Amino acid sequence: MTFDTIIKNGTILDGISAGPRAADIGISGKEIKTIGTLGSTKAKQIITADNKFVCPGFIDIQNHSDSYLTLLEIPSMPSLVSQGVTTIVVGQCGTSLAPLPNIEAIKSVQKWHSLAGANLDWLTFEEYFESLGHYPLGVNVISLVGHSTLRRGLIGDKVRPATPEEIRIMSKLLKDSLSAGAGGMSLGLVYAHEADSTVEEITEIARMVAGQKKLLSIHLRSEGAHIAESVNEAIDLAENTKSSLKISHFKVRGEKNWPKLEAALSSIDRAYQRGVNVFFDVYPYTTSWTVLYTYLPKWAYEGGRNAILDNLRDSASRRKILAYLRDQEEKSLSDIVIATSETNPALVGKTLRQIAANQEVSVEEALLNMVAVTNAQVVVFDHNISQDSLPVLLKHPLSLIASDGAGYDFVYSPSHGLVHPRCFGTFPKFLGLVRDKKVEISWSDAVKKITSRPADKLGVKKRGRLAVGNFADIVVFDPRDVDSRATYVSPYQESDGIDYVLINGQVVFWKRQLTGETAGEVLRI
């Protein structure tokens, strides 16, 4: 028998077994045909994997390539392919690119990326998947349904609970989307258009997701002072609806809040022990990449962008916002870095401390000025996560590793600004921490966190494991030098140690070089 590709002499980490084993892999078409000793068996191409690990392709279960619109603008997604990602899950934090019951629905993207020039020629999830299938996708794509997208499509910018009729319509749109192959639903409870969702509304739609045995992904209402209450809110929702819950990019932000991590993790552990299907994803960085307006008090951004700008123009409201910000930890605000500002690219790379000094105002005033001058479209870096918390979260038995980033090419663009290095190096960085014993887990367990375990949580068939009959999504990496080179100042850097990547049987990364092949597919769950 002649194969299309043989991977020879590798050390297999199959996403199933407790330890590594030596074996060859024979691939024909999109599938793994055999795993064993292939000797002199012929193939059209042979990958020599001496002293390398061979494992399933990495599944990025928390990805924002759709909300940053790079899924459409840079569908080949080199920054993800080159770090070993073969499948991404988009539609996170309450926002997805479908369904679009009206033009208001897509505006949920605006907090991350301008909609200028966006050309979306679909309304339903079925049409979205059909259209996306014509893009030259660099990786496989799964999408959740964004709650904010559903809600905004019906309610617009109004600040009020959904009516029973609107909840019924949302449920119908959600049901149709799940039937079309969406992988579940996401909530972004911290953001303006979901902050006032009632328990009844969220429970109704979460129950539908659970009934379809699909994923419920939640961006917590607070990752700071109210982290414990926010974790319990998510757990209660999952417990009451029997949902499979993923807490997105779990962390505790702000030094004064770091001691709250232990209690929050204990709540998750206790919930799991009593039968709640809860887990969380985490990225191996201490800097968040977030929307600046979320630093304002909740009342100041209810109703979205227009409400934010109106509150900043109103002198009484502005004074109340400033008083709120002054009660926060000033050092954290001072060190915030402007990462993306499409309206004012000259601000990129500057800290609020620098901007405040230049404007001769307080740091709090500078923050409000930045929100106003950018039309509430500004994304920032905030070095607000405890370094000591990383190994705890990364090795926790309920954690999965995810980028919470997006796919980019390796050329700087002013419209993209300074993207977070996790877009280029999340998975190699995690593996490098495992090699250096900074995260004390085995190679087998590390690989499972980025392959078989996310596949199981998503209900993805024939991916996430190296097994005969499965799709040939495969990564060959060198454990001796795998690591990320991307930094906050210079994020557009290729990782070390990722040697080969195959997606659906095609080699898309060969000897640390992109081949130009785009083998990704839309995956319907």
Domains and CATH numbers, the chain: 3-56+465-481+493-513 (2.30.40.10), 58-286+385-458 (3.20.20.140), 291-382 (no CATH)
Amino acid at 142: I
| Percent of residues, the chain, with pLDDT higher than 70 | 95
pLDDT at res. 92: 97
Do 368 and 320 contact (CB within 8 A), yes or no?
Answer: no
Which CA distances in Å does 108 have to 61, 115, 220, 303, 397?
Answer: 20, 10, 17, 12, 33
pLDDT at res. 106: 66
Measured distance CA(477)–CA(10) in Å, rounded = 10
Tokens of 146: 């964004």
Render 53-94 in DSSP notation, one character per residue: EEEEPEEESS--TTTTTHHHHSTT-HHHHTTTEEEEEES-TT
Measured distance CA(398)–CA(264) in Å, rounded = 13
Residue 354, helix vs strand vs coil: helix
Which residues, given as ranges, of the chain have pLDDT below 50?
Answer: 112, 330
**Nearest in space to 428 (alpha carbons), one of 411, 412, 450:** 450
Measured distance CA(498)–CA(511) in Å, rounded = 8
The label of the residue with tokens 């819950």 reads: 245
pLDDT at res. 294: 87
Amino acid at 84: G
Measured distance CA(132)–CA(140) in Å, rounded = 11
Residue 149, helix vs strand vs coil: helix
pTM for the predicted model, two decimal places = 0.94
Measured distance CA(301)–CA(64) in Å, rounded = 22
Angle between helices 164-179 and 147-155 (to 10 degrees): 130
**Chain centroid, CA 275 distance in Å:** 26
Do 332 and 386 contact (CB within 8 A), yes or no?
Answer: no
pLDDT at res. 288: 92
Measured distance CA(74)–CA(413) in Å, rounded = 12
pLDDT at res. 114: 53
pLDDT at res. 230: 96
pLDDT at res. 302: 75
**Nearest in space to 79 (alpha carbons), one of 450, 494, 500:** 494
- Backbone CA torsion sign across 298, 303, 304, 310: negative
pLDDT in tens, 306-330: 889 999 999 999 999 999 999 875 4
Question: Maximum distance among all alpha carbons in the chain?
Answer: 79
